[in-house]
Chain A
Amino acid sequence: MARLTKNKHEQTLAKKPTGITGFDEITGGGLPEARPSLICGEAGAGKTLFSIEFIIRGAIEFGEPGVIMTFEEKADDLEKNVLSLGFDLKKLQKQGLVWIDHVHIDRTEIEETGEYDLDGLFIRLGHAIDSIGAKRVMLDTIENLFSGLSNEGILRAELRRLFGWLKEKGVTTIITAERGQNSLTRQGLEEYVSDCVILLEHRVINHISTRLLRVVKYRGSLHGTNEYPFLIDEEGFSVLPVTSLKLDNNVSPQRISSGIPTLDAMLGGNGFFRGSSILVSGTAGTGKTSIASYFADASCKRKERCLYFAFEESPKQITRNMKSIGIDLQKHVDAGLLEIHSSRPTLYGLEMHLVAMHKVIKKFKPRTVIIDPITNLITIGSMSEVKSMLIRLIDFLQSENITVIFTALVFEKEATTQTDEGVSSLVDAWVLVRDLESNGERNRGIYIMKSRGMEHSNQVREFVIRDTGLELIDVYQGPNGILVGSARRAQELTEATGMELRTHAMSRKDREVERKRMVLEAKIASLREEFESVQDELNRTFLEEELTNSIMAKNRQDLSNNRTNRKPGNGKRK
């Protein structure tokens, strides 16, 4: 994006990249080339650091030598100060990339006798620029001249001449100045430096400080006009352009599992959309962190990096606690897939948290992010501030296609459908875990309040945390409302008993029938026996009759044969 804007402006106004994270994005390329820019702010606002980074990054990253002319700190002090940020000024000086000149001016040592000019300064600066071929110059804090020299008329004229001369020299200059009472700078330097004015602020609200940067003026260039939070840490200065003005992020149709199959089932069977934002809200102790950890676990099991921001527990606490419900997060931490960042919300202001998260996310490049819980942020900012911060965070995460889970604590007394951050309208999916109190015990109920762009269950599930893991169970819809916990168990038992009794009754009836059948069958058998014996009797009589008939017939035959067949032959026996 930055590059695009830069190209667009190249015809009109060339810009010098500062190399400061985020700043070049806000200004669309950096500071105006070959012109002086004014950085103003109160003491300790970070003016010097900003300028030094401009010089050092210019030297290291862009190969442009730079001159540091300091009116406050001695060169040695300066070297020590930036050494803690990992910049070796001594080495850069040896390489001829940086030239440091400490201008010492003390009113007590100098008497003014008539007209003078600041040619000495011009010569020093000119010599420094020419010696190393400098492209960048920093004057920190040139207003000190006003305390060293008393003739304001001469000083003003000379400064005007100096800035003009620097322009002619073609160097990009940063001038730092202390903030005045009613003006941007004590000596009204903004009158002379008309091209680019940047204001750094350090605001303390509720004992928590936030550093803010604002581009007050940037002639001939578009620039962000908001106050941008910035961070000074061990890597230097980073500004965060956290307000994206458009809603044109790419979206993904891909779905990812929540890590709890039964929850996925409630979400149309596939889980959440990738790149979506999910809010898990609930009262204290309802298992929000457990749900988040399951999500982290699932993410790591897919070999996707997950970043866990914890505002309540330390990394060790989380891994220990999650082990008790059967998730081994340590394994993922060791594999480099999971990073847990714990910090107290009160560590710094909201904006700083945002910047810090932004930085870590940019560095770790996770696919999923967990923020547990967002409610604690309320302690360091008002609701509207937290909301605006979360909008920007969600915006940023969506632009990176990172899925994020927020957990939020809902207070018992408030309406359960209200999250105090008012973020429910921002998120794509909202899972509510709620205490269901009845019969002297508390149980957890889980609802899907909303889930944009997918079919989702409208039912309450009972949410049970066991040492083996999380489980969602269908609740009983009884005559007295829904039944959960012991009541559900009791109902289950009652039903199981009823079932047992019914099966018992059934089997008794079965046996009765069996017995009846056997009796009848026995009867049938005896009747059949009887019938058979009658049949036998009848058969016997019939057979006897027949036998008698046949024997009689035979006898008759024999008799007749005896009478008719008396032959002599038969008398052979004689």
Chain B
Amino acid sequence: MAYMGKQDREDADTSEYMLRLFITGSTPNSIRAVSNIRQICETYLKGRYSLEIIDVYQEPGLAQQEQIVALPLLIKKRPLPQRKLIGDLSEVDKILKILDVNKDNG
């Protein structure tokens, strides 16, 4: 399964911030979420992150395994604790707080 491949990649990944974004094709929310998270990462976490974007439409089996209900969904796998964020990621301040990123550090 494709998902197992990702699991392997996950182990190999040594970035400080490991993020995974689940989206649904090219719905407005998804497009906004992708551009929002890219911008946040590039601005505040440049070089310290890995971002994986998964289209749930392509892998519907994943939805049950990952307990996905609302989309878009961003999962912060590292650093621990693991956090889940839903929405188009437009509230930058809130996201930075949850990701535990110091705005001034950026």
Contact = CB atoms under 8 A, between A and B. Distances in A.
Given A111-B94, A119-B71, A126 B84 contact: no
Interface in B47-96: 56-57, 60-61, 63-64, 67-73, 83-91, 94-95
Contacts of A145: 69
Contacts, number: 97
Interface in A143-177: 145, 148-149
Interface residues of A, number: 25
B71 to A, nearest CB: 4
Given A113-B94, A148-B69, A127 B60 contact: yes
A109 B84 CA distance: 6
B101 interface: no
B29 A117 contact: yes
A113 B61 contact: no
Contact of B29 (A105, A116, A148, A149): A116
A124 interface: yes
A110 interface: yes
A272 B32 CA distance: 83
Nearest to A103: B69
A104 B98 CA distance: 21
Contact of B98 (A111, A116, A123): A111
Given A111-B84, A115-B29, A116-B86, A123 B70 contact: no
B68 A116 contact: no
What's the dominant secondary structure at chain A's contact region? mixed
B27 interface: yes
A123 B24 contact: yes
B61 A127 contact: yes
Contacts of A110: 70, 84-86
A161 to B, nearest CB: 13
B24 to A, nearest CB: 4
A141 to B, nearest CB: 14
B68 A123 contact: yes
A86 interface: no
B32 A123 contact: no
Given A119-B27, A121-B69, A124-B68, A113 B87 contact: yes
B86 A119 contact: no
Nearest to A130: B60
B24 A119 contact: yes
Contacts of B90: 113-115
A571 interface: no
Contact of B57 (A105, A112, A123, A149): A123
B29 to A, nearest CB: 5
Contacts of B67: 103-105
Interface of A: 101, 103-105, 109-121, 123-124, 126-128, 145, 148-149
Closest 9 CB pairs of A and B: A120-B68, A114-B87, A127-B60, A114-B90, A114-B88, A113-B87, A124-B63, A119-B24, A119-B71
